[in-house]
Chain A
Amino acid sequence: MNTKSGKGKVLLKMRDVRIDGFSDERWHEIVKGVDLTLRRGEVMGLIGESGAGKSTLGLAAMGFARPGCRLTSGEIVFDGIDLMAASETEKRVLWGRRIAYVAQSAAAAFNPAHRLIEQTVEATVGEANAAEARQDARELYASLQLPDPDHIGERYPHQVSGGQLQRVMTAMAMSPRPDLIIFDEPTTALDVTTQVDVLSAMRDIVEKFDTAAIYITHDLAVVAQMADFIKVLRYGEEVEEAPTRTMLSKPKQDYTKSLWSVRALAKPEEPADDIALSVENVDASYGGTVKVLHDVTIHAPRGRTVAIVGESGSGKSTTARVITGLLPPSTGRVVFDGEPLPAALRDRSKDQLRRIQMIYQMADTAMNPRHTVGEIIGRPLEFYLGLSGRKRDDRVNELLAMIELDESFIDRLPSELSGGQKQRICIARALAAEPQVIICDEVTSALDQIVQEGILKLLLRLQKEFGLTYLFITHDIATVKAISDEIVVMYQGGVVEQGLKSEILGPPFPDYTKLLLSSVPEMDPDWLTGLIAERDGK
Chain B
Amino acid sequence: MSEAEQDYSAAGEIGQVRTRRTATQRAWLALKKAPFSAWFGMIVIAAYGFVAIFAPLIAPYGESQVFPAPFAPWGGEHVFGTDQIGRDVLTRLIYGARNTIGIALATTLLAFVIGGGLGLVAAINRRWLDQLLSRFVDILMAIPSLIFALMLLSIFGSTITSLVIIIAVLDSTRVFRLTRAVAMNVVVMDYVEAARLRGEGLGWIMRREILPNIMPPLVAEFGLRFCFVFLTIAALSFLGVGIQPPTADWGSMVRDNASLIQFAQYDITAALTPLLPAAAIALLTVAVNFVVDWFLHKTSGLRDEH
Cβ of A420 < 8 Å from any Cβ of B?
yes
Q: CB < 8 Å: which of A23, A362, A421 contacts B13?
A: A421
Give the Cβ gap from A192 to chain B, nearest Cβ, in Å.
Answer: 25
A-B residue pairs, 5 tightest by C-beta: A418-B13, A370-B212, A366-B190, A404-B10, A417-B15
Contacts of B212 in A (CB 8 A): 368, 370
Contacts of A512 in B (CB 8 A): none
Is B5 a contact of A235 with CB atoms below 8 Å?
yes
Is A30 a contact of B191 with CB atoms below 8 Å?
no
> B301: nearest residue on chain A (CB-CB)?
A24
B interface with A by C-beta (< 8 Å): 1-5, 8-11, 13-18, 20, 189-191, 193-194, 196-200, 208-209, 212-213, 301, 303-306
**With contact pairs A24-B305, A370-B213, A383-B200 given, residues A362 and B8 touching in the complex (Cβ less than 8 Å):** no
In the assembled complex, the Cα of A353 lies from the Cα of B10 at a distance in Å of: 29
Q: Interface residues of A: mostly helix, strand, loop or mixed?
A: mixed
Q: List 29 A-B contacts (CB under 8 A).
A: A23-B304, A28-B1, A51-B1, A235-B3, A326-B196, A353-B197, A358-B194, A360-B194, A365-B189, A366-B191, A368-B189, A368-B209, A369-B213, A370-B213, A383-B200, A403-B10, A404-B11, A405-B11, A415-B16, A415-B303, A418-B13, A418-B15, A420-B13, A421-B10, A421-B11, A421-B13, A429-B194, A433-B198, A451-B13
Is A360 a contact of B190 with CB atoms below 8 Å?
yes
Contacts of A313 in B (CB 8 A): none
**With contact pairs A24-B301, A362-B190, A415-B305 given, residues A405 and B10 touching in the complex (Cβ less than 8 Å):** yes
Is A450 a contact of B8 with CB atoms below 8 Å?
yes
Contacts of B4 in A (CB 8 A): 235
Cβ of A204 < 8 Å from any Cβ of B?
no
In the assembled complex, the Cα of A486 lies from the Cα of B199 at a distance in Å of: 30
Contacts of A367 in B (CB 8 A): 191
In the assembled complex, the Cα of A21 lies from the Cα of B1 at a distance in Å of: 11
In the assembled complex, the Cα of A366 lies from the Cα of B191 at a distance in Å of: 4
> B14: nearest residue on chain A (CB-CB)?
A418
Residue-wise, chain A 344-388 has the 8 Å CB interface mask toward B (1 for contact) of 010010100100011010100111111100000001100110000
In the assembled complex, the Cα of A414 lies from the Cα of B92 at a distance in Å of: 53
Q: Interface residues of B: mostly helix, strand, loop or mixed?
A: loop
> B193: nearest residue on chain A (CB-CB)?
A326
> B215: nearest residue on chain A (CB-CB)?
A370
**With contact pairs A51-B1, A235-B5, A326-B193 given, residues A369 and B303 touching in the complex (Cβ less than 8 Å):** yes
Is A454 a contact of B10 with CB atoms below 8 Å?
yes
Is A416 a contact of B15 with CB atoms below 8 Å?
yes
> A29: nearest residue on chain B (CB-CB)?
B3
Contacts of B199 in A (CB 8 A): 345, 348, 350, 353, 383
Knowing that A326-B197, A416-B15 touch, tell me 7 more A-B residue pairs with CB under 8 angstroms. A51-B1, A234-B5, A368-B191, A369-B213, A384-B198, A416-B18, A433-B198
Q: CB < 8 Å: which of A24, A324, A370, A384 contacts B306?
A: A24
Query: Which A residues between 21 and 46 are near B, CB-CB below 8 angstroms?
Result: 21, 23-25, 28, 30
Interface size on A, residues (CB 8 A): 54
Contacts of A138 in B (CB 8 A): none
Is B10 a contact of A365 with CB atoms below 8 Å?
no
> B211: nearest residue on chain A (CB-CB)?
A370
Cβ of A406 < 8 Å from any Cβ of B?
yes
In the assembled complex, the Cα of A23 lies from the Cα of B306 at a distance in Å of: 11
Is B8 a contact of A454 with CB atoms below 8 Å?
yes
Cβ of A424 < 8 Å from any Cβ of B?
yes
In the assembled complex, the Cα of A353 lies from the Cα of B198 at a distance in Å of: 6
Cβ of A518 < 8 Å from any Cβ of B?
no
Cβ of A250 < 8 Å from any Cβ of B?
no
Contacts of B9 in A (CB 8 A): 404
Give the Cβ gap from A237 to chain B, nearest Cβ, in Å.
Answer: 8
Contacts of B196 in A (CB 8 A): 326, 345
Q: CB < 8 Å: which of A258, A379, A405 contacts B198?
A: A379
Cβ of A9 < 8 Å from any Cβ of B?
no
Contacts of B15 in A (CB 8 A): 412, 416-418, 421
In the assembled complex, the Cα of A161 lies from the Cα of B194 at a distance in Å of: 34
Is B197 a contact of A358 with CB atoms below 8 Å?
yes
Give the Cβ gap from B212 to chain A, nearest Cβ, in Å.
Answer: 4
Give the Cβ gap from B100 to chain A, nearest Cβ, in Å.
Answer: 36
> A351: nearest residue on chain B (CB-CB)?
B199
Contacts of A348 in B (CB 8 A): 199
Is B1 a contact of A30 with CB atoms below 8 Å?
yes
> A359: nearest residue on chain B (CB-CB)?
B194
Contacts of B18 in A (CB 8 A): 413, 415-416
Residue-wise, chain A 417-441 has the 8 Å CB interface mask toward B (1 for contact) of 1111100100001000100000000
Is B13 a contact of A406 with CB atoms below 8 Å?
no
Contacts of A379 in B (CB 8 A): 198
In the assembled complex, the Cα of A421 lies from the Cα of B15 at a distance in Å of: 8
Give the Cβ gap from A425 to chain B, nearest Cβ, in Å.
Answer: 11
Give the Cβ gap from B156 to chain A, nearest Cβ, in Å.
Answer: 42
Give the Cβ gap from A84 to chain B, nearest Cβ, in Å.
Answer: 24
Residue from A28, A416, A424, A433 whose CB has the most chain B CB atoms within 10 Å:
A416
Q: CB < 8 Å: which of A30, A324, A345, A420 contacts B10?
A: A420
In the assembled complex, the Cα of A23 lies from the Cα of B301 at a distance in Å of: 9
Residue from B15, B20, B208, B212 whose CB has the most chain A CB atoms within 10 Å:
B15
In the assembled complex, the Cα of A67 lies from the Cα of B189 at a distance in Å of: 29
Give the Cβ gap from A239 to chain B, nearest Cβ, in Å.
Answer: 10
Residue-wise, chain A 91-118 has the 8 Å CB interface mask toward B (1 for contact) of 0000000000000000000000000000
Is A324 a contact of B190 with CB atoms below 8 Å?
no
In the assembled complex, the Cα of A88 lies from the Cα of B198 at a distance in Å of: 56
In the assembled complex, the Cα of A379 lies from the Cα of B213 at a distance in Å of: 18
Contacts of B197 in A (CB 8 A): 324-326, 345, 353, 357-358
In the assembled complex, the Cα of A379 lies from the Cα of B189 at a distance in Å of: 18
> B306: nearest residue on chain A (CB-CB)?
A24
Give the Cβ gap from B131 to chain A, nearest Cβ, in Å.
Answer: 14
